[in-house]
Chains A and B, each alone.
Chain A
Amino acid sequence: MDLPLFLQQLLNGISLGSLYALIAIGYTMVYGIIRLINFAHGDVLMVSTYFTYFGISVYALPWWLSVIIAILLTALLGILIDLGAYRPVRHAPRVSALITAIGVSFLLENLGLVVFGGRPKAFYRPDFLNKTYELAGVHVFSLSIWVPLVTALLLVLVFLLLYRTRVGAAMRAVAKDMEMVQLMGVDVNRVISLAFAVGSALAAAGGIMWAMKYPQINPLMGIIPGLKAFVAAVLGGIGNIHGAVLGGFLLGVMEILLVAFLPSLAGYRDAFAFILLILILLFRPTGLVGKGASG
């Protein structure tokens, strides 16, 4: 393997990894606060791509407007899921909450099949994402550059929210000690709703870019990115937002390089994430970064 090819694959890996990172933040925020693996996170992502699809194809809105509306609607969906399904089981045993989350995941997938139909739909890709540049022998797909850029922008926004605003401080505090924060007069339920909204909005952004990358959507498309982003969150140390970002990038790069260097293992690509997950949980269950910022 020569250098240009390596750089090209590295860029692909970073681009994939930034999507994992965006989705992983939603997992880690929710887990950090209410200790729930939100199984439905990947399916929320799927719904967001359908919102965008309907905006562009059915209501004939400009693509950027559909994307913004879809992200807002998905944030709302996240809040509604929390209100409708997770809040009633908040004080139940954790396994009950997990079963509820699995139920919500299957509900979204199958409602998707019922409402949107099982046939995959072509997804719109704006022209400026469709170009290929050549820089010193490296073929660069413009989408692979834009995805990490947008991700970086969103990450800056999230960290500003978390570290420079009052609600961000409340969020970090709730993750540290929910009961204590409640005594200090913080409305915990609102903070949790906000976490779901932010997590879902990021998942929507990730999902829409995912759909532009593989320009096709179907009601089951959320499963694989959802599961892998979860692995990324655990890899970084679940409950830790910096960890989720690091884990996402690492997983994306490793996955792409594995497929590029060992094409004979390409079929095992989806198993790789899980094997990695099992290894992390065995040898370093707190993840690479461990409990930190919001754990």
Chain B
Amino acid sequence: MLDLILLSTHLPSSNLPYLFAAFAVSWVILFGYLFYVNRRQHELRKEISRLQTILDQTPEE
């Protein structure tokens, strides 16, 4: 009986959800980070061009 239990828990197919979870989490974190960096880069560039316009219109003292 114990052999049967061990066999069923160690069958290659029995731990597939863990394999899926490990790869899914890896992709979500890696691409999530890259997405965050790219989005922030885009926002900052927009802010720079907005402020640059204001700066160009502000007379120097």
Does B bind A? Answer: no
Q: Which A residues contact B (CB, under 8 angstroms)?
A: none
Q: Which B residues contact A (CB, under 8 angstroms)?
A: none
